[in-house]
Amino acid sequence: MKHPQSKKLSSSRSETLCGIISVPGDKSISHRSLIMGALSVGESTIAGLLEGEDVLGTANALKALGADIYKDDNNIWHVWGVGIGGLRQPQAPLNMGNSGTGVRLLMGLVATHPITVTFTGDKSLSSRPMKRVTDPLQQFGAKFTACENGTLPITVHGTKMPLAITYDLPVASAQVKSAVMLAALNTPGRTTVIEKIPTRDHSERIFGYFGVPIQLQTNQIHVIGQAELSAKNMTVPADPSSAAFLIVAALITEGSDITIKNVGINPARTGLFTTLIEMGAHIKFDNIRDQCGEDVADIRVKYSALTGVIVPKGRAPSMIDEYPILCVAAACATGQTVMRNIEELRVKESDRIDVMVKGLKACGVEVHEHKDGMSVKQSTVKGGATINTHLDHRIAMSFLILGLRAEKPIIIDDATVIETSFPGFGMLLNSLGASICP
């Protein structure tokens, strides 16, 4: 399936990439900033918000739920919140497009409000598993009407009298954890989330920043519900998952030297950076600082001779979205890179393991598929293929980066999906010296 206004993009072998740049704001933090602003009393402001389709979908959904949200002439977003418990009944279903983060977080948010909300999405989102979220939310007292297999469209029948719960996460998922935490905000008493494997802690950090009574213990998160939240001013750091594409582009293109400003380096998100450094990457973190509860730095990257590694299985949660672009680095690294324990990739916007393996093979890269991952060997990237992106932005961007090293251009079938997370991706790469064109 293609986007109704799909357009192809071609990426060709490029010379040196050089420059000082910025990438869009962190998608995970952008979603959460809007949500927390909508639940606060007063006016919150957000600088650096990612203005991709996914985040704008969350903004529109929150408007339908009663928040007043707009952008001023200086690109600062303003959110007038309704307070905890103040969400209103939307007049129509909320279409979340292709945003798994948006729909799962908002289902958690509305589950403990006495309203009924229907969530819809595109074909890709409508095929993704939602029971992992609806199961714990039912324990609060919410009810759900969904398709037979538990997918979208889903109607959430929020509960009038939510009950605090203790939930042991069966899978490592920051989205599920965050949905439970958001449900806890309008639930009296203490809700506890237990996670065997630590996941991204953006929710914990932003809860603390907005004044939510939250207690953190080893593998446990306790949220005290029904507190009044005060509005805050937020600055969203640049998205490390977006920066990853530019970092790998510089690492595999001879003579390259780029700096990416204001990138989030939350330890729960830097697994790819750690892996690339283990492979021999020249990556330097400058001007490290705290920004609204998040760790931020400027990242300088130079072309490097990489060597394949076995990625530790336990590192997967800190880099789950970065495995597609790691495959690109692996194709250019001496030896073999082994990536296992990443079956979660099969239920993302696409089956990212299957799609990456097929696309890499089409481009002449030697790759072996495992049930729970893949192994990629150094290869001569022949290119000359047209890649089916399956409406997956990370697949699209990964193969455009691979094209920078290919003997023949690599074409992606649909570049419009990139707008969900990285507006202006091709133009930014070209400003550094890449050759990406329709």
Is-catalytic flag, 321? Answer: yes
Consecutive H or E run containing 215: strand 214-217
User: What is the crossing angle of helices 271-278 and 240-252, to 10°?
Assistant: 20
Looking at residue 230, what DSSP letter applies?
B
Q: How far apart, in whole angstroms, are the C-alpha atoms of residue 331 and residue 376? A: 6
SS3 content of the chain, % helix, strand, coil (to 5): 35, 25, 40
User: What is the crossing angle of helices 393-402 and 352-362, to 10°?
Assistant: 20
Looking up tokens 């759900």 gives 144
Q: Which of 26, 295, 298, 321 is labelled catalytic?
A: 321
Q: How far apart, in whole angstroms, are the C-alpha atoms of residue 9 and residue 366? A: 24
User: Dihedrals φ, ψ of 208, to 5°?
Assistant: -65, -40
Six token digits for residue 19: 């420059």
Strand, coil or helix: 412 = strand
Q: Which amino acid is at 315?
A: R
Closest CA to 117 of 102, 127, 128: 102
Q: How far apart, in whole angstroms, are the C-alpha atoms of residue 176 and residue 108? A: 9
The per-type count for the chain, helices as H runs and strands as E runs, is 12, 23
Q: How far apart, in whole angstroms, are the C-alpha atoms of residue 418 and residue 3? A: 11
Residues taking part in catalysis: 321
